[in-house]
Every structure is written in C-alpha cells, then in structure tokens.
C-alpha cells in the first residue's frame, strides 16, 4: 500500500514538474515574441512617421508650386505631373509603405530639380532685365528744321546831342537775342523781322515798312540780318520809336523769321 502511494506521488511530482517546464517555456516564448512585436511596432511607427514627414514635405512643395502657378511661372508639364501625384495620394492606402516611400522620394527629387531649374531661370531673367535696363537711353528731343531763338533782352535808349542834351522820353529800344545753332538748318544769310506793339496795341513802324505774301501782310518795326553757320549767334539791333506812339507801359516784342514767329518778350517803360 505504501509502495503504491509513493508511485502515485512520484508520478504527480513528475507531471507537476513537466507542467512547470512547459509553462516556463511558454512564458519564455511569449516574452520573446512580445519583445519582437515591440521592436517591429517601433520600426513600423518610425516608418509611418518618416512617411508622414515626406507627405508634409510634399504638401509644402505642392503649395509652393500652386503659388508659382498663380503668377504664371510653372509649366503645364509640371502641373500635369502633380495631378498624377494627386492620384497617387488618392490611392495611398492601397500601396505598401515601401512603395509609397519610393514613389514619394522620386517625386520629391523631381520637385527639387524643378526648383533648381526655376531658380536658375529667375537668375538668368533678372540678368537679362538688368542688361535691358542699362540699355535704356534718356529721351532726347530731336531738333526740327526751324530756326529758334532764346535769351531775348530789351532796354530803352535816350539819345543825347548838343541840340537836345536832355530827353525825357526814350528814342530807341535795344533788342538782343541768341540764335540757336541747329545742324539741320542750312548755313547762310538769315533775316529777322522785329515787331513792337505799344500799350495801346499800336505797331511802332517809323518807316511804315512791311512784307507781304499773298493775303498775308506783316508790318514790322525793324529788320536785322545775320550770317548763320549752324552755331549759336548773339544778335543785337536798335529799333527807332515813333514819338507820338511812345508812352509808358508794357510793350510786346515779337520776332519773326519770314512769317513764322520764333520768339516773344515784354519791355516795360516806366
């Protein structure tokens, strides 16, 4: 009876030890599997994070391309490429992480190449713009083929003589002006007619001189000639006044070449 009891005890201890061994092996295997699962999860999480970062970078790239599109810089081929990329995003969940990563890297590489190309293009266009700006010339007024004068001056002159040592009124007006040089006008003798109008709107013409062409008649006060050599010339002359038309006030002085008025000035007699 005691032997049978000992055998049962031995068998029980053996099975108990066996169960403990199996349990220990199972726990060890489970722990090892858990550690592998943790490592795999960590790697997958890192891959997903990298994938998310690339998506965000791609989004920034697409935003930049969209801004460039608004100012008409991006070519149609680039836009077409990014439309195909959008299709990729629509099917993003159907691709493996490795494949998605490879495609994104390829697209990002092309975008970077496009950005480099655009930067070079901008530098070249700015350089060309600078050259064009440097070629601009200030606007130059082209001279016409008509005579022109400047610097018109005038002053009253009193003539002193033994017969009339003191004159209250001026007897002449001295008029000077500069005939401007112009290489478009032929050299030669040029005639200028001076017209003086007193404050009463009367033309002073002591010798009643005039020139007439068809229906046009010009009464003038004095005439002066000059030899023109296409360079600036200073010209002066004296105009005799009519005593009954010489009054105080403002006198209008007009200078003509033929029938064309080329200058005007005002003389004030006080």
Give the contacts of 185 (CB within 8 A, at least 6 positions apart): 145, 146, 147, 228, 230
pLDDT in tens, 121-178: 888 888 888 877 777 655 445 567 789 999 999 999 887 766 655 667 888 999 999 9
Q: Give the pTM.
A: 0.46
Domain boundaries, the chain: 2-135, 149-269
Q: Class for domain 149-269, per CATH?
A: mainly beta
Q: In this predicted model, what pLDDT tens digit does every residue of 63-107 receive, in sequence order?
A: 555 554 444 444 445 445 554 555 555 565 566 777 777 777 888
pLDDT for res 74: 43
pLDDT of residue 150: 94
Q: How many CB atoms lie within 10 A of CB 137?
A: 5
In this prediction, residue 137 carries a pLDDT of 56
List pLDDT tens digits, range 203-245. 998 777 788 877 778 889 999 999 999 999 999 999 999 888 9
Among 51-65, 92-106, 186-200, top mean pLDDT goes to: 186-200
State the pLDDT confidence band at 201, using cuts at 50, 70 and 90. Answer: very high
Query: DSSP for the chain?
Result: -HHHHHHHHHHHHHHHHHHHHHHHHHHHHHHHHHHHHHHHHHHHHHHHHHHHHHHHHHHHHHHHHHHHHHTT-S-HHHHHHHHHHHHHHHTGGGS-HHHHHHHHHHHHHHHHHHHHHHHHHHHHHHHHHHHHHHH-----PPP-SS--EEEEEEEEE----SS-S--SS--EEEEEEEEPP-TTS--EEEEEEEEEE-TTSPBP-TT--EEEETTEEEE-SEEEEEEE-SS-EEEEEEEEPPGGG--SEEEEEEEEETTEEEEEEEEEE-
């Amino acid at each position: 009876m005691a032997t049978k009891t000992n055998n049962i005890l031995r068998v029980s201890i053996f099975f108990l030890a066996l169960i403990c061994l199996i349990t220990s092996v199972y726990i060890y295997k489970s722990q090892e599997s858990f550690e592998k699962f943790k490592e795999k999860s960590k790697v997958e999480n890192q891959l997903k994070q990298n994938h998310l970062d690339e998506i965000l970078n791609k989004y920034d790239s697409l935003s930049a391309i969209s801004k460039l599109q608004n100012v008409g810089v991006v070519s149609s081929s680039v836009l077409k490429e990014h439309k195909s990329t959008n299709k990729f995003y629509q099917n993003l969940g159907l691709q493996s992480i490795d494949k998605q990563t490879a495609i994104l890297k390829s697209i990002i590489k092309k975008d970077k190449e496009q950005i480099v190309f655009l930067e070079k293009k901008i530098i070249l266009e700015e350089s060309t713009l600078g050259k064009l700006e440097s070629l601009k010339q200030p606007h130059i007024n082209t001279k016409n083929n008509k005579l022109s004068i400047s610097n018109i001056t005038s002053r009253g002159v009193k003539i002193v003589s033994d017969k009339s040592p003191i004159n209250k009124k001026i007897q002449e007006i001295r008029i000077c002006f500069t005939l401007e040089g112009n290489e478009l006008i032929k050299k030669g003798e040029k005639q200028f007619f001076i017209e003086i109008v007193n404050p009463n709107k009367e033309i002073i013409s002591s010798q009643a001189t005039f020139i007439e062409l068809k229906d046009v008649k010009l009464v003038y006060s004095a005439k002066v000639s000059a030899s023109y050599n296409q360079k600036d010339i200073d010209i002066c002359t004296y105009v005799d006044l009519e005593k009954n038309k010489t009054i105080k006030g403002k006198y209008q002085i007009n200078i003509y070449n033929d029938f064309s008025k080329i200058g005007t000035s005002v003389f004030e007699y006080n």
